[in-house]
Structure formats: C-alpha cells, structure tokens
Structure 1
C-alpha cells in the first residue's frame, strides 16, 4: 500500500488509505452543509427539501457509491485496482449532478435540476454496470448475495431519479403520487436494500465476532421478498391502491425481519460496545417504526395528496432514526480502518470517534422520540438542536481524523 505524502495525480496509482482519505470528505462535506442549513433554516424558503437532499442525495449516495464498491471488491475477492480513474470519474459526474439538483431546488429553476438529474442518472448507470461486470467476472463467492443487493438498490435509484427530475417541471394532480413513488423507491430501495445487504458481513465485523450460521441463508431469502415488496409498494402508490401499497411495506418489513434475526443472534453472542454498534442497532429499530408509521399513513389517508402531505411524519424516523444513524455508525467504524497506519493508529482514531458515544446515542434517540411524539413547538425546536449537536459530535472528530491522516499518513 502506498504511504507517500504527495497527492497522486488524477488516475495515478493510489493506496487504499489515500483514496478513502479523499472520498471520506465527500459525505462529511454534505453533512457539514446540513448542519449549516439546520442553523440558518429560517432564511431558506426550501430548507426542508434542501436538508433532505443534502443527506440522501449528497452524504448517503456518495457513501454508498464508495463503500459498496469497497465491499464488492472484498466479498467477490476481486483484485484491488491499481488505478481508480473510473471510480473517480463516477464520483465526479455524480457530484456535479448533485450540485445541479441542489441549485434547482434552492433557486426554483428546473433546468439545472434536469441536467443534474441526468448526470446523477449517468453516474448510477456506470455504478450499476461496474457492479454487474464484477459479478460476471468473479468466481463463485459465499457472500456474493451482498452484491446482488447492491445491484437491486442501484436499479431502484435509476427508477427514482427520473421521477424526481419529472417533478421539477410538472405540477399537476399526479404530483403527490410521483412524490410518494420517488421517496419510497429511493429510501426503501436505494438506501434500505444497500443497508440490508451490507449488514450480512459488516455487522459481525463491527462487533468483532463470528457471523451467525444462518446469516447468509437469511440474506438470500430476504432479497426477493424485499424486491417484491418494493415493486408492490411502488405500483400501489402510483395507482393509489393503499392496501396493496401497505402490503408492499409489510413485505419489506418481513425482509428486514429475516435479516434482523441473525443480527440479533450475533449481538447476543457479543453485545455492541461502541458508537458504531449502538448507532446501527438503534437505526434498525427505527426502520421498523418508520415502516409501521408509513403503512398507517397510507391506509388512513383519504387520497394521495393527503398521504403526501403527511409523509413528513414518516420521514423523521426514517431519515433521522434509520438513515442518518446507519450512515454515522458505519462511517465511525470504516474511516479509522480504511485510513490504515497500523493497529495503534486505527485504535486511536476509533477512540476519537467513539468519545462520549453512550451520551451521543442516548441523547440523539431520546431527542428523536420526543420529536416524533406530539410535542409543543418549543420542545421540538429544542430537540432538533440536540440532534444537530449529536451530529456535530460526530462530524468534528471525523473531519479531524481525516485531516490528521492527511498530515501524518
């Protein structure tokens, strides 16, 4: 592995640590922008839309692109590429597109958003082609099912992006159905499928223990259930058939439960004892809460417009409870490991990111419970500030870790 201090030229051979040191800044930059939005949101008319897309399209999508490639190479036992020109180009196209989409949402001008969505779509296509090429070229591997989850997730993103772009230019009676479709496909397809597939090998790694014997079988059984549920849900919200849509959510919950069983078995063998472990564990609980609230919202709404208006009730546990906590927990474990430098350096970085972990996890989840419940506005403001503080408690040491690794690789 290269440990040179000079930054390599584009396309030049680069060590894994150098690559992850640079790409690790991408999700952190979007999270930092999210913190800024949280503090200045009264000045921004579209701050909710901006915050959602900074988290999902910015931080989460970049993290998925980088780390799904990393795990694909690992589980398929592919040779680590000497050059990362293709991956760097995919990320450049993706982030140029994200900039266009964010600009369109802030300025209310659709054309930058359409161009940006096209670039995001192109980056996702390239990512999907790369995944399928690795699968075709690889020898049979025990954990190849993880990459199948990534392929299904990328296909979901390619379905959701054009609908989001269409909503930038169309505002008619069908918009609520498109919004519900776009949100569900991206959140429960692109994000959730990726998480479920990654947990197969990642969860026992975080706990530093062996995998449950049933984990691989559970993952294989859960994938078709989840994909079927996502398809049924998508058709249900587009056609506004609430009962089938809720049935699709039930299938996704069943798939999550199938993968949760070996996760719980592993946790019983070795209890989580870090920010990464407890953050990911808490995120899994919030996923089931969000799916239940989502089903109730769809079944109790008198039409797609009402369901779309009330979807914010679903977004809080799904975005903050599940997505954000999964992202922070995963990065807290992955960044110290990927930056290399030997066991002592990894342990020191992990300790920095784990500092006050019990307080952070407890504070964030308690604040989220209060926020989700019907509370007075001043209480919700206070709890939202606590969530921002918890994010800063991760973000500041994470940025420091990356910058320190750059100075002392």
Structure 2
C-alpha cells in the first residue's frame, strides 16, 4: 500500500468507502425484509419498526451518502475526507437502533427523544455541508438543483420534531403523525429524488439533460415547498381535506420538472439499462402514490387504511426500486478501477435485471388489489424477492470489483 501513488491510495480509499456504504444500505434492506416477513408470520413487531427500518435505515442512509456525492459533483467543489459523511451516517444508524429500542411498542421515552435528536443533528450537519458546497460552487448551470437537498433536509428535521412531539402527546396524535409522515415522505424523500433525477436520469439513459427542466427547477421547488408546508400545517390543525388539496400542488410541482426530463428521454433513443428502467418506474410510482394519497385524503378516506394500502407500492416499487436502480449504475463507477472493470461490474449486476424489475412492479400492482388476502401476500413476496435479487446481484459484483482493484 505504501508503494502506491497518492492518487491510487485515494481511489482505494474511495472504493472501500462506497463498498461499506453499499453494504450498510444492503444490510438494512435485509433487516427490513426480515422484519416484514416476521411480522407477516405473526411476530409482535410494530408497523412503526418495519417502516422505519426501510425509511431511515435504507433511504435516509443512502440519501446522506449519495446526495453529498452529487452535491460535490454538481458544484465542482472538493470532496475532502469521508470522515464527516461516515460520522453522519453512524449517527443515523445509532439513532435508528435507539429509536427501535426506545419505542418497542407505542411508548415514547427519554431514549427515543435522544435517538430522534441524533438523527436530527445528523441531518442539520448534512445541510450545513451542502450549504457550504453551494456557497463555494464553481458551476451554476447544474448546481441549481442542489437547493432541493437543503429543502429536503429541512422537511426531515420538521418531520423528526413532529414525530417527537406526537410521541410526547403534543397536539392531536393522528394529525401530528399524518404531518410527520408527509413531511418525511413528500418532503425529504421526494425532493431529494427530484433534485437528483434532473441530471441523473439522462445520464443513466444516455440522453441529453433537459434545459427546460433545469430552468423550471427553482419555481418547482418553491411550489413544492409552499404546497407541502401548507399541507403539513393543515394536518397539524386537523383539516385533512385542505391538506389533501394542498398536497396536489406537490404533484403539480413534480410534474413541472419531470415532464421535460421524461420527454427528453422518451423522445431520444435511450439506453434502457436496468438502472434507467428502475429509476423511471420508481419515479412514476412515487408521483402516482403522492397523487393517490392526496385524492384519498380529500375524499375523506381513513388515513391509516390508505397508508396501509399504499405503503408497499411507495416504499418498495417507489423508493427502494429507485435507490437500488441508482446504485446498480453508480457503485461500479465510484469504486472505479478502469473502464473495463466498471463495465464488467455493471454487466454482472445487470444480469436478469429486467426480470427483477418486472417482478417488483407486478408485485406492487398486486398489493394495491386489497389490504389483505392472497393477492396482497403474493405481491409482497414478489416485491421482496425482486428487491433482494437486486441487492444479491449488486453487492457481490461491486465487492469483486473492489477486491480486483485492491489486488
């Protein structure tokens, strides 16, 4: 190791970092799937634990890692040490584990308070780093999407505080939890996705980045933030019909930037790799579920029933399919080792990819047919197999690439 040039040492360190990051995300995918299976078999595990294993364990971990990477690339600022990213991710892992331990049932205590504080602190630190990169940006053309990450982080902080307040009995519990979940889902997760795909989806599909989407991005972010902020407040105040109506502005804002992106991709001759298809399908699921959630709320449907019906499609076919689809393309690139090794790793991770994508999306459709019953169970099984298969092909491919680079 000591005989290697400095650049090679840096590349090896980067490879180890991103292999560890992928492993952390993969472990939470496995834990979440295990919790889901155990709960389906009758184990006394709360729905809360299952959902947060995916949302905090998989999604938040991946967002903290890769939104930092995208920010550095879009602003053309130096990345520096990985120590800060690793520490922030470790805070989230500790917070999630303590949250699960401190809220094993529905009681909220001092341990859960401390755990929520760890997660909130990690996100605030993440936002400060993003802001620092944006202030020192050397490029303005694509850095215009970086504020999406700042707004996303702000919504997650709000979501954490609302969940904490609800656990402590502040306000109407149902309204506070509805506000908490919408701020986290349509604020943190969806805004991060939208800020990323404007440039990433064209890269995955080998098409041109849409100038129109880039020009619309700031207006769309303002509309999204105002609409969702007002919807969150309406939930807190116990006005779900208003909340659902205002949430439709989120759908409009998303379509404002996604329409030119998808038009550019579909109007060209895209390279429909597993990554590109997974990300496109995940995007469409997220927008569809957001619209369905808003319309159902306006119609007066029971929020818990709506959430229970939509959560597999949102989490598995939307967020997790999209995150794993991005990683299928991104991880081999970040680990590096030369063009040939990157291509080989992508090819290994891509084997049978379309079958996995089909399984995930058919499974999601099946879960929407009923809240219980054989169709629902079959859909959950298909979702689980498809997502685990994505990870099963991805992780060995990048681990083998990393070992080859280290040797």
> Scaled by the length of structure 2, what TM-score is found?
0.91
The answer for the alignment partner of 1:340 in structure 2 is 336
Measured in 1, the distance between the counterparts of 2:33 and 2:277 equals 22
Give, in angstroms, the shift of residue 339 of structure 1.
1.0
The answer for the alignment partner of 1:242 in structure 2 is 240
> Which deviates more, 36-45 or 178-187?
36-45
CA 1:163–1:375 in 2, change beyond 3 Å: closer, same or farther?
A: closer
Q: 2:386 aligns with which of 383, 390, 399?
A: 390
> How do 1:133-152 and structure 2 match up within 5 A?
133-152=132-151
CA 1:376–1:53 in 2, change beyond 3 Å: closer, same or farther?
A: closer
Give, in angstroms, the shift of residue 2 of structure 1.
10
> Which deviates more, 379-388 or 151-160?
379-388
CA 1:232–1:90 in 2, change beyond 3 Å: closer, same or farther?
A: same
Measured in 1, the distance between the counterparts of 2:248 and 2:291 equals 8
Measured in 2, the distance between the counterparts of 1:24 and 1:384 equals 24
Asked whether the 8 Å contact 1:297–1:311 carries over to 2, the reply is: no
Give, in angstroms, the shift of residue 293 of structure 1.
1.7
Measured in 1, the distance between the counterparts of 2:211 and 2:124 equals 34
Measured in 2, the distance between the counterparts of 1:96 and 1:384 equals 28
Give, in angstroms, the shift of residue 104 of structure 1.
2.5
- CA deviations 1:118-177 (Å, max 9, x no partner) are 10011111111111111222235211222100000000011011222233343x871100
The answer for the alignment partner of 2:218 in structure 1 is 220
Asked whether the 8 Å contact 2:14–2:335 carries over to 1, the reply is: yes
Q: 1:363 aligns with which of 325, 343, 359?
A: 359
The answer for the alignment partner of 2:395 in structure 1 is 399
Considering only aligned residues, what root-mean-square deviation do their CA atoms show, in Å? 2.4
Asked whether the 8 Å contact 2:332–2:342 carries over to 1, the reply is: yes
Measured in 2, the distance between the counterparts of 1:78 and 1:292 equals 37
> How do 1:4-403 and structure 2 match up within 5 A?
15-41=13-39, 42-81=41-80, 83-106=81-104, 110=108, 111-170=110-169, 174-268=172-266, 269-301=268-300, 306-374=302-370, 377-403=373-399
Measured in 2, the distance between the counterparts of 1:196 and 1:156 equals 14
Measured in 2, the distance between the counterparts of 1:153 and 1:376 equals 33
- CA deviations 1:275-326 (Å, max 9, x no partner) are 1111111112212321222123212227xxx324532223233222321221
Q: Which runs of 5+ in 1 are unaligned?
A: none
Asked whether the 8 Å contact 2:365–2:379 carries over to 1, the reply is: no
Asked whether the 8 Å contact 1:289–1:317 carries over to 2, the reply is: no
Asked whether the 8 Å contact 1:117–1:161 carries over to 2, the reply is: yes
SS in 1 for 2:146: helix
- CA deviations 1:9-40 (Å, max 9, x no partner) are 9xx99632222122221111100111222332
> Scaled by the length of structure 1, what TM-score is found?
0.91
Asked whether the 8 Å contact 1:2–1:15 carries over to 2, the reply is: no
CA 1:400–1:292 in 2, change beyond 3 Å: closer, same or farther?
A: same
> Which deviates more, 109-118 or 68-77?
109-118
CA 1:398–1:271 in 2, change beyond 3 Å: closer, same or farther?
A: same
CA 1:396–1:3 in 2, change beyond 3 Å: closer, same or farther?
A: farther
Give, in angstroms, the shift of residue 92 of structure 1.
1.8
